[in-house]
């Protein structure tokens, strides 16, 4: 039985803005006597972010659940409802972070979370939008409906990667935010105390923003996502559980799936855990993808040097050492169609040869 409402925050932001990195930083501030939960949604069909978060936070007091493929707001929020219900039943968390895909519609997720039924269990607080200020003058971003909606719903805007900014880029972000309203807090990641400052504001109630009604479209269909009555995530119909993703490895020991929508394309692979990859070969492959204008790469891979997490965005590759994983998996996202057979061949060439 839930005795008090769960502090809940949406951490939104466009592809590669740094949402997962921010959540990792926030998890370091978790009090020892609390249990926190993270719901991660990814555009691609192969979940990676949960592995990146869970691989560095294996404590039972941090529970992570993933919804891969599409957007949490699709089908009137049914994936959101089921996943959160399962998370709460399993973890009974004191705090819940929800990280939607960078191509998602956070206003629709907020609508589901704040209906009269769900407010009895969730205390929806300030929404955070992670933004790379270098992008706000780029029309691919500034004229993108999702990018603007993420800015619109945000109570706190967290300027990530400030160490890479040019002189006026933080000012450009401030000017861009002025188009929306004057209630947003802008926090720069340049400060040593920025994460603590942001954390202190998370429990403030979110501010309802006035916005014109929009009809959002599913990335996989044409159903309207603006249902007049969003069902409760705690209703009996939402507790039946989701169908588990069925992975059947082929004779070469891998399984793949593709996704397309919102002007983006993704391919993801899952490899049998017995397969080991050559670490240096994976680094070379990631650099090759950078040259091919792949906009995003995420991976958790078993290599001869241990378990490694790969994260590539804006032509920059970062690698982290992870403690555990169930298998190897990689996801790439591009703004033009991808050829699976060619990419699979390159990946298989990275297998470690004893």
Give pLDDT tens digits along the chain (354 positions): 556 899 999 999 887 888 888 998 899 899 989 999 988 876 544 455 555 555 455 456 788 887 765 555 554 456 667 777 888 888 889 999 988 877 667 787 888 888 887 788 899 999 999 999 999 988 888 888 888 989 999 999 999 989 889 889 999 999 999 888 778 999 998 888 999 999 999 989 887 665 443 433 333 333 322 233 434 434 433 333 445 556 789 999 999 988 887 678 889 899 999 999 999 999 999 988 888 878 888 888 999 999 888 988 777 888 888 877 888 999 898 888 889 999 999 999 999 987
Q: For residues 25 and 22, give the distance between their C-alpha atoms in angstroms, rounded to a whole number.
A: 5
**Phi, psi for 35 (deg, rounded to 5):** -110, 130
Q: In this predicted structure, what is the pLDDT of residue 78?
A: 64
What is the distance, to the nearest Å, from the Cα of residue 306 to the centroid of all Cα atoms in its chain?
Answer: 25
Neighbours of 195 (CB within 10 A): 17
The stretches of the chain forming alpha helices (DSSP H) are: 19-27, 49-54, 74-91, 106-113, 139-142, 145-153, 169-177, 194-201, 279-291, 340-348
Tell me, what's the pLDDT at 173? Answer: 93
pLDDT of residue 215: 36
- C-alpha distances in angstroms, 22 versus 11, 54, 96, 147? 9, 14, 14, 18
What is the structure's pLDDT at 114? 84
The pLDDT score that the predictor gives to residue 157 is 95
Report CA torsion sign: 55, 57, 60, 63.
negative
Of 135, 155, 80, the residue nearest 112 (C-alpha): 80
Tokens coding 304: 């001869």
- What is the rounded CA–CA span in Å between residue 49 and residue 60? 18
Distance from C-alpha of 164 to C-alpha of 262, rounded to nearest angstrom: 28
The predicted pLDDT at position 77 comes to: 55
pLDDT in tens, 333-350: 888 888 999 999 999 999
pLDDT by residue (tens digit) across 307-317? 888 988 777 88
pTM of the model as a whole? 0.69
Say whether 173 sits in a helix, a strand or coil. Answer: helix
């Amino acid at each position: 039985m839930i005795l008090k409402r769960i502090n809940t925050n949406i951490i939104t932001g466009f592809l590669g803005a740094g949402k997962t990195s921010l959540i990792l930083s926030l998890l370091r501030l978790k009090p020892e006597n609390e249990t926190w939960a993270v719901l991660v949604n990814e555009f691609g069909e192969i979940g990676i972010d949960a592995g990146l978060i869970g691989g560095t936070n294996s404590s039972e007091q941090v529970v992570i659940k993933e919804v891969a493929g599409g957007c949490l707001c699709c089908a009137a929020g049914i994936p959101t409802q089921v996943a959160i219900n399962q998370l709460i039943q399993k973890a009974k968390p004191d705090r819940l972070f929800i990280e939607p895909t960078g191509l998602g519609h956070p206003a629709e997720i907020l609508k589901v979370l704040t209906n009269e039924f769900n407010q009895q269990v969730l205390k929806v607080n300030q929404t955070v939008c992670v933004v790379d200020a270098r992008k706000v003058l780029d029309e691919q971003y500034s004229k993108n409906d999702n990018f603007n909606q993420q800015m619109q719903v945000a109570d706190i805007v967290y300027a990530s990667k400030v160490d890479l900014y040019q002189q006026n880029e933080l000012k450009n972000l401030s000017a861009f935010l002025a188009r929306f309203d004057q209630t947003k807090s802008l926090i720069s990641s340049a400060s040593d105390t920025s994460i603590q400052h942001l954390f202190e504001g998370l429990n403030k109630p979110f501010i309802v923003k006035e916005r014109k009604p929009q009809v959002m479209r599913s990335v996989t269909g044409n159903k309207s996502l603006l249902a007049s009555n969003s069902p409760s995530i705690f209703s009996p119909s939402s507790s039946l559980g989701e169908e588990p993703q069925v992975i059947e490895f082929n004779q070469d020991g891998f399984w793949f799936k593709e996704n397309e929508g919102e002007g983006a394309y993704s391919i993801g692979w899952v490899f049998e855990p017995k397969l080991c990859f050559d670490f240096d070969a994976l680094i070379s492959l990631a650099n090759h993808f950078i040259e091919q204008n792949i906009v995003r790469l995420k991976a958790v891979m078993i290599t001869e040097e241990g378990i490694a997490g790969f994260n590539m965005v804006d032509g920059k590759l970062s690698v982290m050492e992870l403690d555990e994983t169930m298998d190897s998996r990689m996801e790439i996202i591009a703004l033009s169609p991808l050829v699976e057979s060619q990419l699979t061949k390159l990946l298989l060439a990275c297998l470690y040869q004893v």
